[in-house]
């Protein structure tokens, strides 16, 4: 997939607004009872998002849009609060660093405090974990890709965070790439026939999963765009890469990009990359990133 695929996703703004409005409905509902009891009228405040642990910045647009929607809904003013960016997307930060400044209606800031922190803490963790994977494979030629193992509804944000960390995006969903996996092959038959059938029906890029040397040769003959080497240890990956290069040259075929996938962690990423694969897809980037500790603190006397 192209690096710009996520940013250009159809309806990306609508998807983001839908997610944020659901979060507002869940957390704020018809209104913040505490805030409205204490501040029945607008009151200007200043606050700062500050890192309490190291990470990589991600999620600034989601936070900006969140406060836009909160201001529009509860203050009748989408510009009720303003964000100042202290750390740009993809910029590393340390404990104590300021990330974002926010100024405006204290009521709107307070309403959005927990939602914005939930977003930032997760997305900065995704970006930080991705950055570490990218560091582990530096110099090998392999690139780190995400997967569809994302929080339901959060995929666009998760994938943008991966990009902030220096990774690349795999397919966005089931609609923008042909990926023929083991269950497809179990129902259809061999990889060569499946690739040819898919090519007759769709102009999309085609990836096919293989598990054995026999499947690899059969897949190569059909010339897919990508071959997924699934759940192979680094020595088996190296053998598959060498076989793909040799067979492609012998048969006069265009060699597809080779992707390693399945159980690759920080400890094994370098060895997988050293096998010569072009891509490594890592589910843990988005299904188990952890959380970066970030706080939102008001300036004394401003709220």
CB 258 within 8 A of CB 247: no
206-210 vs 178-180, strand pairing mode: parallel
Cα–Cα dist 72/158, whole Å: 25
Q: Catalytic site residue 114? A: yes
Which residue is listed with tokens 């499947």?
215
Q: Catalytic site residue 87? A: no
Query: Out of 91, 223, 230, 293, which one is annotated catalytic?
Result: 230
Query: Out of 146, 209, 218, 278, which one is annotated catalytic?
Result: 209
Query: Out of 13, 181, 245, 246, which one is annotated catalytic?
Result: 181
Torsion angles phi and psi, residue 247, rounded to 5: -65, -40
Cα–Cα dist 106/158, whole Å: 29
Q: Catalytic site residue 278? A: no
CB 80 within 8 A of CB 71: yes
Among candidate residues 7, 2, 276, the one with its CA nearest the CA of residue 160 = 7
Range list of β-strands (E), the chain: 44-51, 55-56, 81-85, 92-93, 98-105, 143-145, 178-180, 206-210, 226-230, 257-261, 279-281, 294-298
Long-range contacts of the stretch 207-211 (C-beta < 8 A, 24+): 207/177, 207/178, 207/179, 207/180, 207/259, 208/179, 208/180, 209/179, 209/180, 209/181, 209/182, 209/185, 210/240, 211/182
Cα–Cα dist 48/275, whole Å: 45
Query: Out of 48, 149, 199, 221, which one is annotated catalytic?
Result: 149
Among candidate residues 257, 58, 13, the one with its CA nearest the CA of residue 162 = 58
* Residues involved in catalysis: 114, 149, 181, 209, 230
């Amino acid at each position: 997939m192209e690096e710009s695929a996520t940013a250009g996703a159809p309806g990306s703004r609508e998807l983001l607004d839908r997610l944020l409005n659901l979060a507002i409905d869940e957390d704020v509902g018809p209104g913040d009872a505490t805030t409205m009891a204490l501040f029945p009228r607008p009151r200007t405040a200043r606050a700062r998002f500050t890192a309490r642990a190291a990470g990589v910045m991600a999620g600034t647009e989601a936070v900006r849009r969140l406060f836009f929607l909160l201001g529009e809904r509860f203050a009748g003013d989408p510009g009720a609060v303003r964000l100042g960016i202290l750390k740009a997307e993809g910029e590393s930060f340390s404990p104590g660093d300021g990330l974002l400044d926010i100024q405006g209606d204290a009521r709107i800031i307070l309403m959005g405090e927990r939602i914005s922190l939930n977003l930032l803490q997760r997305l900065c963790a995704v970006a930080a974990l991705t950055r570490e994977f990218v560091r582990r494979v530096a110099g090998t030629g392999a690139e780190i890709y995400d997967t569809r193992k994302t929080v339901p509804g959060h995929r666009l944000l998760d994938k943008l965070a991966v990009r902030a960390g220096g990774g690349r995006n795999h397919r966005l969903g089931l609609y923008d790439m042909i990926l023929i996996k083991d269950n497809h092959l179990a129902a259809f038959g061999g990889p060569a026939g499946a690739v040819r059938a898919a090519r007759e029906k769709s102009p999309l890029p085609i990836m096919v999963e293989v598990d054995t040397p026999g499947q690899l040769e059969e897949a190569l003959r059909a010339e897919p765009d990508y071959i997924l080497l699934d759940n192979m240890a680094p020595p088996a990956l190296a053998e598959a890469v060498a076989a793909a290069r040799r067979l492609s040259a012998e048969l006069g075929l265009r060699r597809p990009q080779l992707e390693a996938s399945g159980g690759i962690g920080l400890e094994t990423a370098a060895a997988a990359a050293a096998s010569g694969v072009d891509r490594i897809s890592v589910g843990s980037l988005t299904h188990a990133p952890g959380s970066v500790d970030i706080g939102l603190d008001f300036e004394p006397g401003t709220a």
